[in-house]
């Protein structure tokens, strides 16, 4: 049976404390913690405070996100930030970090860009594994290197098939990349770490932006088909609502989070 979670992007202007309080009140089982909000909180609080907030709420810390894996830009700063996140995840008992690939530089061939990405991913995987942390690669809609889950799996294989790395399936990114839901059946179940659920208005794919996302059931993505596939395959992980819509952010957080839960729960009930 799938479990419902919410991603901190859905409530972007609000604090980590407000995210946790609203998610628990709405009925979510888990939460993906937005890394910038975690860091803001840790400027004045210890990680134990975050762990206590989660314990009191009854929420599972499903993941912390997002982290850019890139051998093409400020590698030292990105690695340092990631290593801090691994320590925090371990302290608050969060078992997963979500990582995103960088785009292919114009100066490199696709083959060279993929190999350098794979080498960098292997470094990230090794550091995470030492702390018992899994990494979920998030394919990005229209991405030059990893536009879908199968490309994510290929990158994992190229990186040496680390046991603690899997993929994230995002319904909006999948739509933007023009990939059919049949790819969902091709992901080994033990490598499908988490599913982001969201919906989209009926716009040309090349015009869609993250800010266009809408609540599940309010757009054109065949989400019942996705849920049916997950159920048939025996997926028992989290469905996490991730929406970057500014007019949702302007709503009171309790209203936004409650609607995110209610609309997704309605889909699950069919």
Residues 176-182 have a mean pLDDT of: 87
- Give residue 162's pLDDT: 98
Q: Which two tokens stand for residue 38?
A: 């975690």
- What are the extents of the domains in the chain? 3-269
pLDDT over 90 at 239, yes or no: yes
Given this model, what pLDDT does residue 24 score?
Answer: 98
The DSSP line for 76-144 is HHHHHHHHHHHHHHHHHT--EEEEEEPPPPTTS-HHHHHHHHHHHHHHHHHHHHHTT-EEEE---TT-S
For residue 183, the model assigns a pLDDT of 87
Q: Is the pLDDT of residue 192 over 90?
A: yes
Cis peptide before 86 (omega within 30 of 0): no
Report the chain's mean pLDDT, rounded to a whole number.
Answer: 97
User: What are the tens digits of pLDDT across the range 73-122?
Assistant: 999 999 999 999 999 999 999 999 999 999 999 999 999 999 999 999 99
Q: What is the pLDDT of residue 119?
A: 98
**Predicted local distance difference test score (pLDDT) of residue 179:** 87
What are 14-27's pLDDT values in tens digits? 999 999 999 999 99
Residue matched to tokens 């992980």: 237
pTM above 0.85, yes or no: yes
pLDDT-derived band of residue 214, with 50, 70 and 90 as boundaries? very high
pLDDT digits (tens, 9 = 90+) for 19-48: 999 999 999 999 999 999 999 999 999 999
Query: Three-state DSSP class for 192?
Result: strand
Counting beta carbons within 10 angstroms of the beta carbon of residue 77, is it exposed (0 to 12), middle (13 to 18) or buried (19 or more)? Answer: exposed
For 49-80, the pLDDT digits (tens) are 999 999 999 999 999 999 999 999 999 999 99
Instruction: State residue 270's pLDDT score.
Output: 81
Report, as an integer, the average pLDDT of 228-249.
97
Q: Give strand pairing partners of 197.
A: 241
Q: Is 61 helix (H, G, I), strand (E, B) or coil?
A: strand
CATH code of the domain occupying 3-269: 3.20.20.150
pLDDT per residue as tens digits for the range 216-231: 999 999 999 999 999 9
DSSP 216: T
Distance (Å, whole) CA 57 – CA 251 = 22
Q: Is 37 helix (H, G, I), strand (E, B) or coil?
A: helix
> Tens digit of pLDDT for each residue in 140-167?
999 999 999 999 999 999 999 999 999 9
Quote the CA–CA distance of 225 and 178 in Å, as a whole number. Answer: 16
Burial state string for 188-205 with b = 16 or more CB within 10 A and e = fewer than 16: eeebbbbbbbbbbeeeee
> pLDDT at position 259, please?
98
Residue 95: which of 57, 49, 54 has the closest Cα?
A: 54
Q: Is the pLDDT of residue 181 over 90?
A: no
Q: DSSP label at 230?
A: H
């Amino acid at each position: 049976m799938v479990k419902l979670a919410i991603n901190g992007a859905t409530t972007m202007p609000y604090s980590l404390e407000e995210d946790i309080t609203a998610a628990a009140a709405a009925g979510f089982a888990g939460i993906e913690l937005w890394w910038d909000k975690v860091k803001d909180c840790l400027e004045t609080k210890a990680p134990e405070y975050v762990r206590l907030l989660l314990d009191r709420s009854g929420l599972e810390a499903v993941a912390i996100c997002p982290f850019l894996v890139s051998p093409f830009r400020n590698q030292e700063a990105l690695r340092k930030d990631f290593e801090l996140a691994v320590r925090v995840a371990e302290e608050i008992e969060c078992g997963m970090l979500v990582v995103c690939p960088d785009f292919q530089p114009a100066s490199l061939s696709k083959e060279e860009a993929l190999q350098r990405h794979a080498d960098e991913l292997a470094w990230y995987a090794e550091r995470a594994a030492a702390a018992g942390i899994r990494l979920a690669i998030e394919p990005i809609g229209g991405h030059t290197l990893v536009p879908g889950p199968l490309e994510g799996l290929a990158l994992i294989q190229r990186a040496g098939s680390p046991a603690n790395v899997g993929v994230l399936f995002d319904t909006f990114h999948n739509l933007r990349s023009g990939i059919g839901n049949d790819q969902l059946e091709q992901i080994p179940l033990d490598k499908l770490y988490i599913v982001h659920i969201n919906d989209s208005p009926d716009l040309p794919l090349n015009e869609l932006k993250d800010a266009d996302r809408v609540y599940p059931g309010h757009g054109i993505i065949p989400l019942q088909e996705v849920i049916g596939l997950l159920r048939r395959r025996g997926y028992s992980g989290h469905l996490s609502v991730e929406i970057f819509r500014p007019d949702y952010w302007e709503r009171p957080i309790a209203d936004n989070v409650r609607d995110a839960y209610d609309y997704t729960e309605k889909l699950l009930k069919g």
